[in-house]
Structure 1
Amino acid sequence: MRLRTTSTQRTYRYVRLVLVGASVLLAVSVAVQFVVGGPLSSLSAAYYSPAGPVFVGSLFAVAAALVALSGRSLEQGLLDVAAVLALVVAVVPTTVDGDACPAGGRCVPPEVVPTVANNAVSVASVVVLGAVAAAILARVQGTASRGVAITIGVILALVVGGALWAASSPQGFLLAAHTVAAVAFFALVGAVAALAARRPPSPGRRPRGVRVAYAVVAGGILLTLVLLLVALVLEGTAVVDLRGFPVVLVGEAAALLLFLVFWVVQTVELWDDVDPRLGPGIPAASSR
């Protein structure tokens, strides 16, 4: 028996599948690099390897899909902000050890800096244009709300803040922007999962296992970020000796897996939804 679906329903199905596919694509590319080219210090270090184009492309796909799911609920606003952070993670690479780095520390290689500058300016410009366009569309479509205004304001603040940071302290920006954006991105995904877990179930829908899965994802991301932070702070001290253990790689891999689990659960849960909303219980008027 063929089930009837609307084009909008199919579109939102495919958008969520893109998020799942982009996560798997990144994981496979890093795994291939691990087998063929040797281990990486982190998933983010894939930027400098043959897996680099897939790393950047996957994050751009994730960002586009998150924006496509946008609306006026709190979860969707958080994911819009997460989309911008994903772009930062993509175009501002993590630091690496190198002979060109001052005092033998870590840095973004000097030969890569022009690429970072070009990509960052391009992304920032398009994000600003997108925010302005979103404000105009919300006004024209009658979907303007405080939530939409706050989301656009936060996104513009991120762009302006990032630009001021890069202009006032270029080296500081290159050293920390990637890490800050990555941590904030996963924290927002964890917050969305926590909100999804707390959302009351609709009558006759949403088995308890779905809420448990969301809660596990939220708790897992929080625990991963905390443990990663603690490990990095204590690494090499008398308390914790993690020399030779890929702390960042394991932490990022765990976060990526939880991100994948979240979207698999969300895709399965909302597969038959006619209304293209992020989750059950959100009024239809909240979707664009």
Structure 2
Amino acid sequence: MRIRTTSTQRTYRYVRVTILAATLLLIVAVAVQSVTGGVPASLSAAYYTPAGPIFVSALFVVAAAFLALSGRSIEQGLLDVAAVLALAVAVVPTTVESEVCGPAGRCVPSAVVPTVVNNGIAVASVVYVGVLAALVLARVQGTLSRGVLLTAGSVGVVATGFLLWALVAPDAFLALAHNAAAVAFFLLIGAVAALAAWRPQRAPQRFRPAYAAVAVGILFALAGLGATLVAAALGADTTVPVPWVFLGEAVALVLFAVFWVLQTVELWDEPDPRLRAGT
């Protein structure tokens, strides 16, 4: 028996599947690089390898898909902000060890900086236009609410914060912005999973333990990453026996994939494209 679906429902199903496909694309590209060129010091360091174009494009796809799933729920507001953070992770690369870095040891190579500036200006411009367009459309459609205003304001604050940081302290921005955006991104994903796990009205009972495991797992992965980065800053060797930063980021990425599989399965038959009907 064929199950009838609406065009909108099918579209939102495909958007969810696209997020999974982009995540798998990134995993495969990094895996191939690890086999053929050695395991990178971190997942983010794939930016500087042949897997770099996939790394950037996958993050852009995830960001666009998050925004396409836009709704009025608390979870979706968090994912809208996460979309902007994903763009920041994509256009501002992590630092790498290089001879061109001088005494600092690690930096974003000067040859890459013009690309960061160009792409950063483009992304910031589109984010601001998108916020304005979202507010205008919400007003015209009669859907402007406190939640929409809060989400739009949060996105604007995040974009402005990164922009001001880049203008006021460009060296610190290049050194720290990528990690800050990545950690914040995974924290928001963990928060969405936690909401689904511990708010009974958010998810069916059978999904809640899995959401809880994802939320806790992301928290532990980020704590491990933080400890590793502190150890590296203190001079400890964090690449023996494996690159621990890469391992921590890989775990977080896998947990993100698991989270989105759960979301896709749970909401597959959802007639309304919003994650939840909450305001």
Q: Distance in 1 between matches of 2:103 and 2:234?
A: 21
Q: Is residue 248 from structure 1 mapped to residue 245 from structure 2 by the alignment?
A: yes
SS of 1:271 mapped into structure 2: coil
Which residue of 2 is the match for residue 229 of structure 1?
A: 226
Q: Tell whether the 8 Å contact from 1:236 to 1:242 is kept in structure 2 after alignment.
A: no
Q: Is residue 8 from structure 1 mapped to residue 5 from structure 2 by the alignment?
A: no
Deviations 1:48-85 (A, max 9, x none): 00001000000000000000111111100000000000
Offset, 1:230: 1.7
1:8-87 to 2 correspondences below 5 Å: 8-87=8-87
Letter in 2 for 1:164: L
Give the 4+ runs in structure 1 shifted more than 6 A.
none
The match for 1:266 among 263, 266, 270 is 263
Q: Tell whether the 8 Å contact from 1:131 to 1:155 is kept in structure 2 after alignment.
A: yes
SS of 2:117 mapped into structure 1: helix
Which residue of 2 is the match for residue 119 of structure 1?
A: 119
1:185-224 to 2 correspondences below 5 Å: 185-201=185-201, 206=204, 208-224=205-221
Letter in 2 for 1:254: V
Describe the shift of the 1:62–1:243 C-alpha distance in structure 2 as closer, same or farther (beyond 3 A). Answer: closer
Deviations 1:251-281 (A, max 9, x none): 11000000000110111111111121214xx
Q: Distance in 1 between matches of 2:104 and 2:129?
A: 40
Letter in 1 for 2:109: P
Deviations 1:83-132 (A, max 9, x none): 00000000000000111113041100000000010000000000000000
Identity, % of aligned positions:
61
Offset, 1:150: 1.1
Describe the shift of the 1:223–1:134 C-alpha distance in structure 2 as closer, same or farther (beyond 3 A). Answer: same
Letter in 2 for 1:253: A
Q: So what's the TM-score if we normalise by structure 1?
A: 0.92
Q: Distance in 1 between matches of 2:102 and 2:232?
A: 22
Q: Distance in 2 between matches of 1:56 and 1:273?
A: 30
Q: Distance in 2 between matches of 1:243 and 1:114?
A: 30
Q: So what's the TM-score if we normalise by structure 2?
A: 0.95
Unpaired stretches in structure 2, ≥5 consecutive residues: none
Offset, 1:198: 2.1
Describe the shift of the 1:236–1:76 C-alpha distance in structure 2 as closer, same or farther (beyond 3 A). Answer: closer
Q: Tell whether the 8 Å contact from 1:236 to 1:243 is kept in structure 2 after alignment.
A: no
Describe the shift of the 1:10–1:243 C-alpha distance in structure 2 as closer, same or farther (beyond 3 A). Answer: closer
Q: Distance in 2 between matches of 1:79 and 1:127?
A: 14
Offset, 1:166: 0.7
Q: Tell whether the 8 Å contact from 2:71 to 2:273 is kept in structure 1 after alignment.
A: no
1:85-234 to 2 correspondences below 5 Å: 85-201=85-201, 206=204, 208-234=205-231
Q: Distance in 2 between matches of 1:51 and 1:142?
A: 44
Letter in 2 for 1:273: E
Count of equivalent residues: 278
SS of 2:228 mapped into structure 1: helix
Unpaired stretches in structure 1, ≥5 consecutive residues: none
Deviations 1:147-169 (A, max 9, x none): 11111111111222111111111
Offset, 1:243: 4.5
Letter in 1 for 2:246: L
Q: Tell whether the 8 Å contact from 2:238 to 2:245 is kept in structure 1 after alignment.
A: no
